[in-house]
Structure 1
Amino acid sequence: MEDRAAIPVTLPRDNPTRSYWQLDVDDIADLRSTESLPEKTDTVIIGSGITGAAVAFNLLSNAAQDLVMIEARQACSGATGRNGGHTKAASYLSFLHHQHEHGTEMAAKIVRLELANIRAVHAFARDHGIDCDSNPCTTMDVMYDAKQWKMAQKAVKALQDAMPGDDASAYTFHSPEEVRDKFYCGKGGDEGVRGGLSYEAGSLNAYKLVIGVLKLCLEKGLNLQTNTPATSVSKLPGGGYQVDTPRGTITARRVVMATNGYTARLLKRFQGIIVPLRGHVTAQRPGLSMPKSGLPGTYTFFYEKGYDYMIPRPRGCKFEGDIVIGGRLSSAVSEGLNEYGTTDDTAEDEDTMRDLGNTLPRYFGDNWGDDHPESRVRNQWTGIMGYGPDGLPFVGEMPGEKDLWVSASFQGHGMVLCWMSARALVEMMEGRDEELRLWFPDVFRISEPRFDLTFKGRMHTRGDPSSE
């Protein structure tokens, strides 16, 4: 893993695989608000995904002016526009680890933030009329591995003991029979269901959400410059920063890095600290025996070496009933080792995609039936996530670098971390830092000691630290 983490991070690649969400590219995908880059501005945001869009919206809503956003490729062409759209925290998976490392109070604060993020994203889409297939719903975790099932029960109990009566600790356990009968798993397929648990979550089209937020920002005066990669960010002697691009140079009082897995390309201190990881996703047509009314919510399937996450497309949307499923990291060479350190979302691992394409008939068994006559897989693509050494985001001002701000390293968990982290970052930028301690976890903040940690792989699914 050390060798993979040391691979120099590149800029986003040209001509990435085409995401299911971008089969219909929005009108602002290639927008440049002004023909040429402004030579000088107050704030530059690098990155146009959910973090960049949320930071821009919060700044502009607080009367910020002269805000320029630059994006290496099309608008929202990175991880946000390429993920599954799953607003699902599964907070119990990391609760024991966070409790062990940071104490019960901090672990509970992280859990509450994740649920608040889910609710805030869907509320924003509703309140601002953004058509993004927002679907708050129940999710089901199906456990096929006895050890993980035992850990899940222990973790949920610890979480509920720490947060009695809290919405964020509301979980329901299901027997194998209930998982098969109510959630259509097994029965002629993978019969090794150990049990399941359900809780609050949701799904949405993250690309359409962010495009909607960017359009609100454009109305407020945002200058969006797509297809404009930042090649370097350097501090100026008199204060402020110079941002270099192939189209020219911008000087700014402050810079926000909303670059997640690509952050180390511009900020070398993050090399080996925020490590890119390539993920694989498919969109599949449902089998002909699947329930015509649709599945009851979203799913994650846990097996010995990993997990797959699954989002049925809600009724009334384009491709209604399609099933988006991603994961299978363990299917790649050396159980996915070579997916770390790569920023190549122009390509895919054939073994991973093949296994993803074959998962659904196994999970749903007889309930799947014959494949759709137009074929099972409608689309498949890859995207680049960003993982850190302690399984937590990096949010705040760079140590010793005044007005150089970062919100990145979301551990493949961005849909339940980015929105509130962006809100917190703006609070820090505008000097309301102390108020944040009521709701924003201090352990998410950038600090000097975190740069001394060693990256060892994904952390957010680790279970009971007492068993290590």
Structure 2
Amino acid sequence: MASSAETQKPFPQPAAGYTQSFWRTELDVLDSHRSTPELPKETDILIIGGGYAGASAAYHLFPEDQQGTTPNVVLLEARELCSGATGRNGGHLRPDLYSMTSTYTERYGIEAAVEVVRFEISHMKKIEEFVRKEKIDCDLTFTRSYDIYLDADHLAAAKGFYDFLVGQGLDFIDDIKYLSQEDAEGTAKVRGAKGGFSFSAGHLWPYKLIAGLIRIAVSRGLNLQTKTMVTEIGQARTPEGLWPVTTDRGIINARKIILATNAFTSALAPEYSKAIVPCKGLCTHIEAAPGAPYQQLPETYAIRRGPGAFIYQISRKDGSIIVGGAQYTYKDAHEQWHNNPDDGTLIKNVENYFDGYMQRTFFGWENSQATVKHKWTGVMGYSADSLPHIGDIPGKPGQFIAAGFNGHGMPVIFLCGKAIAQMARQSMPFEETGLPKLFETSAARLDPVYNDTLG
């Protein structure tokens, strides 16, 4: 992203400079890697985007038990490896067991909504299996997550839907525990809590997960090209059936293309300009002063001040905290975040919000002298209907998309990347991938019925 949205052509593109994320303080040897000095002229499959979706697709295009001819695969990343939203998030591996489920149930019915929940739960297990199998050192930790409400009416509405789910006899509901006000303040340690819920969740170091995926893919044949900005995809294929892709290092022709571009999708696929919007958020890394007393918080958190007022948090093994969100502080200042792809600047209205946050939010942190050590912005791909877009890009044979994760990519992207790899390499129909049917991109979804990006 350039320094301002107005100077970017096409819009939106990743900026040349960006705020420093805590997750990028220990860089991998492949961070600025180019497998070949020159950009290849041609490839079977081209992946655009070096975040979670692109890395997962790359990994799954090179399975350990490969059969048949291995395709030529090139991955292009505009900046360094995992320098976009994945390397700027909260590291929260947290399925949504009931919150957005109410919206999906109202719009699409309980069966479709529950399919998404079960997918996210299964995704957690697959991540654990993968990390253990491949021995990826990414601080993967499983724990409970506290979903805490500070507004009584908001809690009552959530409790009403939770009771509805209990009445449905769903298999995952036993993992959700309702917390009384006493539990929320006494056990979860949150000041002013009215109550809430807890359920199984996890957290990890996202950059190290993506670096691990890419290392394996490169070892099996992936051509990784960082610092390579894609500026255009041709509107028609060549006589040989290839899509011409223009970059700042020349043109590469691809038989198939995977757009793992999330917030930046509309720059290369303008038909998604209404469906996926770049939306900016802020995240921080907080530490207590050396030797100062503080309350251990092994669980992860979502703290809700009211509808749409959401703060997320994880505790790292060293006791430090990753916390972000608080969109309610800048939501009405649209120019600061909505359709804004610039992660090179902070968000004015929330820039200092997390100073003193732990002291004023949690019992046991009053004397911690906790301070913000890092603060950074990231640009998420918010989808108009709060669902990702996965599958064949309408009207463009051989082009696929895995984007629009709505700030909720960590519990879904690994298997979405696998699915899109199967679609690109094996021509697998979407229906056979195991993804929730609501995730499938379509021409109808490009002209959205909903506009959740602005709430």
Give your verdict on TM over 0.5. yes
Match of 1:197 in 2: 197
SS in structure 1 of the partner of residue 132 of structure 2: helix
1:417 maps to what in 2?
Answer: 412
Higher helix share: 1
Shift of 1:179: 1.8
Q: Is 1:206–2:222 an aligned residue pair?
A: no
C-alpha deviations, 1:296-349, integer Å up to 9, x for none?
3101100025010000002xxxxx111000001111262656311000000011
Q: Which residue is 2:18 aligned to?
A: 16
Is the 2:85–2:378 contact (alpha carbons within 8 Å) kept by the matching residues of 1? yes
1-structure distance, mates of 2:272, 2:28? 32
Distance 1:100 1:185 in 2: 31
* TM alignment of 1:436-451, pairs within 5 A: 436=432, 439-451=434-446
- Return the letter of the residue paired with 1:22: R
Q: Which amino acid in structure 2 is aligned with residue 74 of structure 1?
A: E
Give the Cα separation in 2 of the matches to 1:257 and 1:201: 29
- Comparing 355-364 and 107-116, the one that deviates more: 355-364
Q: Provide closer, same or farther for how the CA distance between residues 163 and 206 of structure 1 changes in structure 2, counting only shifts above 3 A.
A: farther
**TM-score of the superposition, structure 1-length normalised?**
0.89
**8 Å contact kept, 1:112–1:168:** no
- d(CA) in 2 for partners of 1:275, 1:453: 12
For 1:12 and 1:263, the matched residues in 2 are separated by 11
Of 332, 335, 338, the residue aligned with 1:334 is: 332
For residue 124 of structure 1, what is the aligned residue in structure 2? 130
**8 Å contact kept, 2:336–2:348:** no
Whether the 8 Å CA contact 2:294–2:367 is kept in 1: the answer is: no
- Which of the numbers 97, 111, 115 marks the counterpart of 2:117? 111
Aligned counterparts of 2:259 and 2:376: Cα–Cα separation in 1: 25
1:59-107 deviations in Å (ceiling 9; x for gaps): 1115542100000000111111110100012231111211121122111
Output the CA distance in 1 between the equivalents of 2:389 and 2:408: 13
Taking structure 1 as reference, are residues 434 and 214 closer, same or farther at Cα in structure 2, changes over 3 Å only? closer
Whole-Å Cα distance in 2 between the matches of residues 351 and 360 of structure 1?
A: 19
Matches within 5 A, 1:311-460: 311-314=314-317, 320-332=318-330, 334=332, 338-365=336-363, 367-372=364-369, 376-429=371-424, 430-433=426-429, 436=432, 439-453=434-448, 456-458=451-453
Q: 1:121 to 1:195 in 2, by over 3 A?
A: same
The one-letter amino acid of 2:194's match is R
CA deviations 1:332-384 (Å, max 9, x no partner) are: 2626563110000000113302112232212114x112244xx6111000000
User: 1:178 aligns to what SS in structure 2?
Assistant: helix
Mapped to 2, the partners of 1:94 and 1:53 lie a distance apart of 27
Q: Deviations over 1:124-163 (max 9, x none)?
A: 1122100000001110011101122012212222333335
Do the aligned residues in 2 keep the contact of 1:140 with 1:298 (CA within 8 Å)? yes
Q: Is the 8 A contact 1:39 1:251 kept in 2?
A: yes
1:231-270 superposed matches below 5 A: 231-234=231-234, 235-238=236-239, 239-270=241-272
1:271-320 residue CA offsets vs partner (Å, 9 max, x unmatched): 122001001000001363323xx313101100025010000002xxxxx1
- TM-score normalized by the length of structure 2: 0.92
For 1:276 and 1:414, the matched residues in 2 are separated by 14
Count of residue correspondences: 438
Query: Quick check: 1:136–1:202 contact (8 Å CA) kept in 2?
Result: yes
Quote the residue 1:310 is aligned against.
313
Match of 1:228 in 2: 228
Identity over the aligned pairs, expressed in percent? 31
Distance 1:286 1:116, change over 3 A: farther
> Which amino acid in the other structure matches residue 432 of structure 1?
M
- Comparing 215-224 with 422-431, which one deviates more in the overlay? 422-431
Q: Which range moves more in the overlay, 413-422 or 231-240?
A: 231-240
Whole-angstrom CA distance in 2 between matches of 1:205 and 1:174: 29
Task: Find the counterpart in structure 2 of residue 290 from structure 1.
Answer: 294
The answer on 1:151 being equivalent to 2:153 is no
Displacement of 1:246 = 1.2
2:144 aligned with 1:138: yes
Runs of 4 or more consecutive aligned structure 1 residues displaced over 4 Å after TM superposition: none
Q: For the aligned residues, what is the CA RMSD?
A: 2.0
Give secondary structure in 2 for the equivalent of 1:131.
coil
**What is the SS of the residue equivalent to 1:354?**
coil
Aligned equivalents of 1:75, 1:218: Cα separation in 2:
13
Q: Does 1:182 align with 2:177?
A: no
Is 2:92 the partner of 1:96? no
One-letter code aligned to 1:16:
Y
Which letter maps to 1:269?
Answer: E
Q: What is the rounded CA distance, in whole Å, between the counterparts of 2:158 and 2:432 in structure 1?
A: 31
Which letter does structure 2 place at the counterpart of 1:254? Answer: K
Q: Which amino acid aligns with 1:370?
A: N
- Contact 1:329/1:336 (<8 A) preserved: no
Equivalent-residue separation in structure 2 for 1:131 and 1:203 (angstroms): 13
| Pair 434,418 (structure 1): closer, same or farther in 2 beyond 3 Å | closer
CA distance in 2, matches of 1:127, 1:427: 21
Query: 1:261 and 1:434, CA in 2 relative to 1: closer, same or farther beyond 3 A?
Result: closer
* d(CA) in 2 for partners of 1:256, 1:458: 24
- Identify the residue that residue 317 of structure 1 maps to in structure 2: none
